[in-house]
Amino acid sequence: MSAIQNATANEGTEKPMSTTAMVSIREVDKFFGDTQVLFDINLEVQAGETVCLIGPSGSGKSTLLRCVNHLEKITRGSIRVDGDLLGYRAHRGKLYELREREAAQQRLVTGMVFQQFNLFQHMTALENVTFAAVKVKGVAKADAIARGKSLLTRVGLEGKFNSYPAQLSGGQQQRVAIARAMAMDPKVMLFDEPTSALDPELVGEVLAVMKDVAETAGMTLLVVTHEMGFAREVADRVVFMDSGRIVEVGTASQVLDTPTNDRTKAFLSAVLR
Amino acid sequence: MSLRSITGVNKTVHHEGMEIVPVRHWGRLTLAAFVVVILVVVVTSFATNPHIDWSVVGKYLFSPAILNGLWGTLQLTFYSMIFAIILAVVIAVMRISESRIVSGFAAGYVYIFRGIPLIVLLIFVGNLGLFFKEFTLGIPFTDIVFFSVPSKDVMTPFIAAIIGLSLAGSGYMAEIVRAGLLSVGRGQHEAAKALGATPSMTLRYIIMPQALRVLIPPMGNELIGMLKATAIVSVIAGGDLLTMALGISGLNYRTIEMLIVATIWYLIVISVLSIGQYFVERRLAEK
């Protein structure tokens, strides 16, 4: 599962060659206006794998994550999730850009957890978790509620079904957000600095839930994080990014303990002290 | 004892054996006295004015014509408000469209209808029949016509009033709705998007309900403003309260009395609306 692949090993192929690659990022460049923020990103994530993206702020790791569920459009290259080319539909040798409605459908493969939780403020915890299942997937309301309750219980919030986000702590809100993403049965879970906005004493409870998610059979995780302890314990691979480039990829112990790149070394010595 | 001296329950308090003299707010007292005097002067000058016949006010306050006008005003307010809100939401959503042409159109709409004085707009709409002899539904720039009606049959003063009030109101309200939509953070859009919600679902289930809380207080003010604006409809004889009151005064030459009758009713309706607004806002604050 934790096959270490050189980041550029699969360069230049048209079709996704490995059938198990859940996320396949190829030669991706991304510009904001005239500023290039991602440079020739190549990364394959296998089904069931947990990959942590680390690096200094502004290194492009959040942007890359947001590209994987098409919240941001890439400028060049391609991203395939579960075999589907993000944002396009191939038809008779042409790529047709997807309509919003189709893109929305495509996003169901990925679930996303945000740094600022982004819970729907006017809905209870349970409504947050059931909303998209009912409205987007068309799950029967009773089924969605049963599933939502079991998910909230799983993240340790059995007493908080009817609480509004404003009544919950940051850690509790983030756990609702994880349950909300899980409720759509995604194949890939994307975590964008999920603990960065939390008070230090609340980080642990969220990381514990994330670890539980990572242990879900077949679930693929892509986690942008500054929690080196979490990366070491849970990640199959760690990707170090700097200035919009992937600098180093390897197992957690390879990247965190015996980094080969000078920038990785400098970053790690600064965060780990 | 010290607690009592802090709360100032008794007039002369003592602390460490000495009497405490509170600060005298002479400016405040003078202003209060001044205000009371002005109030008394104004009230007596109306109440005892020999040129105002208060029995006329009493006689017409509940007269069928006035109540009819009041009903007209309420209807005008209701319909105009409904149409204005619908237009405002449409324009506000267009305004935040990514298409420059669509958002530009919305911006132009707001510019025009916020810019034209209501009275001008009403006279304009009321007299549409002067330059559009008939209203036609068909395909533009072709001879295909589905139906056509003479404008004077459609554009009664009442209809003209609703159109004018709706258009003018929607210009302001579109900006309020837009502010409400923008008050919902980008994270809410992204979260909905990440869950596979389409833009229209996001607007309907996520953005609008949250924008509503921001919208309702200023919309309450717009409703009260709309009620008052209906008085301007009297320039095209729109069948409102003021039209009726002035109509009667044209017969009995009791202009001030009839204006007082209208004023009393306007204040009563506005009081009712204000109380409603208070409870709605309190309800929203609780949530």
pLDDT digits (tens, 9 = 90+) for A185-203: 999 999 999 999 999 899 9
Query: Which one-letter DSSP state was computed for residue B162?
Result: H
Residues pairing with B15 in the sheet: B18
Q: What is the largest CA-CA distance in chain B?
A: 100
Secondary structure (3-state) at B172: helix
CA B260/CA B262 separation, integer angstroms:
5
Tell which residue, A181, A160, A182, has the closest CA to residue A117: A181
What residue in A sits closest to B209 (Cα-Cα)? A122
Q: Do A107 and B187 touch (CB under 8 A)?
A: no
Secondary structure (3-state) at A84: strand
In this predicted structure, what is the pLDDT of residue B287?
59
Which residues in chain A show pLDDT less than 50? 1-18
**Of A135, A180, A181, which is closest to B201 when you measure between CB atoms?**
A135
Q: Do A131 and B196 touch (CB under 8 A)?
A: no
Q: What residues in B contact A101, CB-CB < 8 Å?
A: 198
Tell which residue, A27, A31, A25, has the closest CA to residue A75: A31
In angstroms, what separates the C-alpha of A41 from chain B's closest C-alpha? 22
Q: What residues in A contact B202, CB-CB < 8 Å?
A: none
CA B224/CA B208 separation, integer angstroms:
23
Q: What residues in A contact B215, CB-CB < 8 Å?
A: none
Secondary structure (3-state) at B99: coil
- Token code pair at residue A76: 């060049």
Residue A176 · residue A157 · CB < 8 Å? yes
Helix/strand/coil (H/E/C) assignment for every residue in B11-33: CCEEECCEEECCCCCHHHHHHHH
Mention every residue, 6+ apart, whose C-beta is less than 8 A from residue B125. Answer: B155, B160, B161, B163, B164, B167
Model confidence at B64: pLDDT above 70: yes
Model confidence at B149: pLDDT above 80: no
Q: Do B190 and A100 touch (CB under 8 A)?
A: no
Model confidence at B137: pLDDT above 80: no
Other residues' Cβ atoms within 10 Å of the Cβ of residue A30 = 22
pTM (2 d.p.):
0.78
Question: Residue-wise over B129-159: b if at least 16 C-beta within 10 A, else e?
Answer: beeeeeeeeeeeeeeeeeeeeebeeebebbe
Section B98-117 average pLDDT: 94
In this predicted structure, what is the pLDDT of residue A12?
39
CA B243/CA B254 separation, integer angstroms:
14
Q: Do B205 and A121 touch (CB under 8 A)?
A: no
Which of the residues B98, B189, B195 would you substitute to probe the A interface, choosing the one with the greatest number of A C-beta atoms within 10 Å?
A: B195
Dihedral angle at the C-alpha atoms of B156, B159, B160, B165, nearest 10 degrees?
Answer: 160
pLDDT digits (tens, 9 = 90+) for A114-165: 999 999 999 999 999 999 999 999 999 999 999 999 999 999 999 999 999 9
Query: Which one-letter DSSP state was computed for residue B206?
Result: I
Model confidence at B38: pLDDT above 70: yes
In angstroms, what separates the C-alpha of B282 from chain A's closest C-alpha? 17
Provide residues of B within 8 Å CB-CB of chain A. Answer: 185, 187-188, 190-199, 201, 205-206, 209-210, 213, 287
Residue B62 · residue B248 · CB < 8 Å? no
In angstroms, what separates the C-alpha of A144 from chain B's closest C-alpha? 14
Section B18-26 average pLDDT: 85
Other residues' Cβ atoms within 10 Å of the Cβ of residue A5 = 17
Mention every residue, 6+ apart, whose C-beta is less than 8 A from residue B8. Answer: B22
Question: Residue-wise over B194-220: b if at least 16 C-beta within 10 A, else e?
Answer: bbbbbeebbbebbbbebbebbbeebbb
In this predicted structure, what is the pLDDT of residue A8?
40
Residue A249 · residue A239 · CB < 8 Å? yes
Residue A114 · residue B190 · CB < 8 Å? yes
CA B53/CA B261 separation, integer angstroms:
12
Tell which residue, A151, A202, A221, A100, has the closest CA to residue B197: A100
In this predicted structure, what is the pLDDT of residue B237?
79
In this predicted structure, what is the pLDDT of residue A34?
92
State the first-to-last Cα distance of chain B, in angstroms, to the nearest integer: 42
Which of the residues A99, A105, A108, A136 would you substitute to probe the B interface, choosing the one with the greatest number of B C-beta atoms within 10 Å?
A: A136
